[in-house]
Amino acid sequence: MAQRKLTVFVYLPGATTAVPAGLFTHDDDLGVGSFSYGRRYLARDSALAVDPVALPLGATAPEVVLNDGLYGAFRDAAPDYWGRLVIAAQSNVPPESLSEVDFLLAANATRVGNLDFRDSPQSPEPILQPPHFNHLAGVMDAAKRIEAGEQADAHLLQLLRQGSSMGGTRPKCTVEWQDSLWIAKFSAKEDSVNIPRIEFATMTLAGRCKIRIPEIRVVAVGDKDVFLVRRFDRELGASGWLRRGFLSALSLMQWDEKDRLRWDYLALADTMRRYVSKSHVAELFRRMVFNVLVRNQDDYPRNHGFVVDGADLSLSPAYDIVPGLTRAGVGTRFQLAMSLGDRGREASVANALSRASRFGLSPGEARAITEELIETTRQWRTLFGDLGVSDRDVELLTPSFLGSED
């Protein structure tokens, strides 16, 4: 048995340094994890649960086998596909040779949320050194080399590594700009359209549909567009960066990433009613319908999140909404990643309306929201053109918006 132990740290509200909260034991061979809170931590008046769903304060935590033996909040704080590629590239090893614990320990101070993972309770505070916006051109070059399987400059790789502990599969990096931390999202090598500008336009459209979004920008770096999203889990305080906790919908529901048959908007709405306000449950319905109208098939549970403030949860601003490309003539029928009504994953307005009551909405309220969304998204061509999406890309996106124009 390859058991490894590491200390879980948490940044308490208003603090810029973390305190040890407990011990995480992980068996790399079996993919099983266990956690126990430290007695000194539990004695703190300000103690918070490191995972408010899976690991409530004081309770005896069961072993976890979901998601390769990681509790939900731990999995959210771990690097995903892109971050793992960067970490492996800096170590000059294939990602498959590193364990879940390796990745937890290798991430850095830009990881999402308010947790950290270290070898021991005495381990020093990680240094927050995200690249400044002015270094983006070099960082983008390093990202391009990693995608191509080439060796990147060590200095640029270190800068990229400092900002690449976020989740997701596309090249990205946390950067410091205008006294804020931003996620900078780049084009990927296989892109046939300008994804950064399209994502900017789609998120702007979501905002016009009364969906809460973070502050967003699109900027040119050389001849490439970069999409910037201001991080909602970080805030600059008088003594440094303050962290807010984060929990994905996958973690709130304690679903396994591999068990896609369980992913369900209706079940998520039911659970949300125990933790968040009624208005946030209704907004989940609005986001679900918007995903149907813009053909966002990348709506899996890790792309819905919750901000943790003390013991309170709230639906986070929306993120990672991009239309899925489809060919003209293929048809408008498609599926979302999560079930949304009587017809399972079928991405249709009728299916979304079929179980609107589970979101706390009357039939009239649900239809009014849907009609408002349809009317707004019908204007997508004008908005995308005004925001600099090329005529070619608008034409290529047209089949993806047929549902909103029908």
34 burial (CB, 10 Å; 0-12 / 13-18 / 19+) is: middle
pLDDT score, position 234: 93
Of the candidate ranges 33-47, 132-146, 283-297, 351-365, the one whose mean pLDDT is the lowest? 132-146
Residue with the larger pLDDT of the pair 332 and 77: 77
pLDDT score, position 164: 61
Check if the beta carbon of residue 25 is closer than 8 Å to that of residue 61.
Answer: no
Average of per-residue pLDDT values in the chain = 92
Binned at pLDDT 50, 70 and 90, residue 166 comes out as low
pLDDT score, position 249: 97
pLDDT score, position 129: 76
Q: Which domains does the chain have, with CATH numbers?
A: 3-118 (no CATH), 234-405 (1.10.1070)
Check if the beta carbon of residue 245 is closer than 8 Å to that of residue 116.
Answer: no
Binned at pLDDT 50, 70 and 90, residue 217 comes out as very high
pLDDT score, position 165: 58
pLDDT score, position 330: 58
Mean pLDDT of 115-136: 89
CA–CA gap between residue 46 and residue 15 (Å, rounded) = 11
Global pTM value: 0.94
Give the model confidence (pLDDT) of 249-294 as tens digits. Answer: 999 999 999 999 999 999 999 999 999 999 999 999 999 999 999 9
Q: Which value, to the nearest 10 degrees, does the dihedral of the CA atoms of residues 342, 344, 348, 349 take?
A: 40
Binned at pLDDT 50, 70 and 90, residue 206 comes out as very high
CA–CA gap between residue 255 and residue 208 (Å, rounded) = 31
CA–CA gap between residue 43 and residue 20 (Å, rounded) = 12
Question: What H or E segment, with its residue span, contains residue 306?
Answer: strand 305-309
Amino acid at 266: L
Outline where 210-348 has alpha helix (H).
249-253, 265-272, 278-293
pLDDT above 90: percentage of residues in the chain: 73
pLDDT score, position 110: 86
Binned at pLDDT 50, 70 and 90, residue 135 comes out as confident
Amino acid at 110: T
pLDDT score, position 310: 80
Give the model confidence (pLDDT) of 281-293 as tens digits. Answer: 999 999 999 999 9
Phi-psi region of 240 (alpha: psi -120 to 50; beta: other; left: phi over 0): left
Tell me the C-alpha to C-alpha distance, in Å, between residue 339 and each of 180, 267, 300, 343: 36, 9, 10, 8
**Tokens at 396, concatenated:** 């290529």
Binned at pLDDT 50, 70 and 90, residue 109 comes out as confident
Does residue 163 carry a pLDDT above 80?
no
pLDDT score, position 167: 60
Question: What H or E segment, with its residue span, contains residue 160?
Answer: helix 154-162
Does residue 199 carry a pLDDT above 70?
yes
**Tokens at 222, concatenated:** 């050389």
Of the candidate ranges 33-47, 328-342, 354-368, the one whose mean pLDDT is the lowest? 328-342
CA 272 to chain CA mean position, Å: 18
Phi and psi torsions of 376, nearest 5°: -75, -45
Mean pLDDT of 153-172: 75
pLDDT score, position 122: 96
Binned at pLDDT 50, 70 and 90, residue 403 comes out as low
Give the model confidence (pLDDT) of 299-338 as tens digits. Answer: 999 999 999 988 789 999 999 999 998 876 556 689 999 9
Q: Which residues of 153-180 are buried (b: 16+ CB within 10 A; e: fewer)?
A: eeebbebbbbbbbbbbebbbbbbbbeee
Mean pLDDT of 18-27: 97
Question: What H or E segment, with its residue span, contains residue 397?
Answer: helix 391-397
For 140-192, strand residue ranges (E) read: 172-177, 180-185
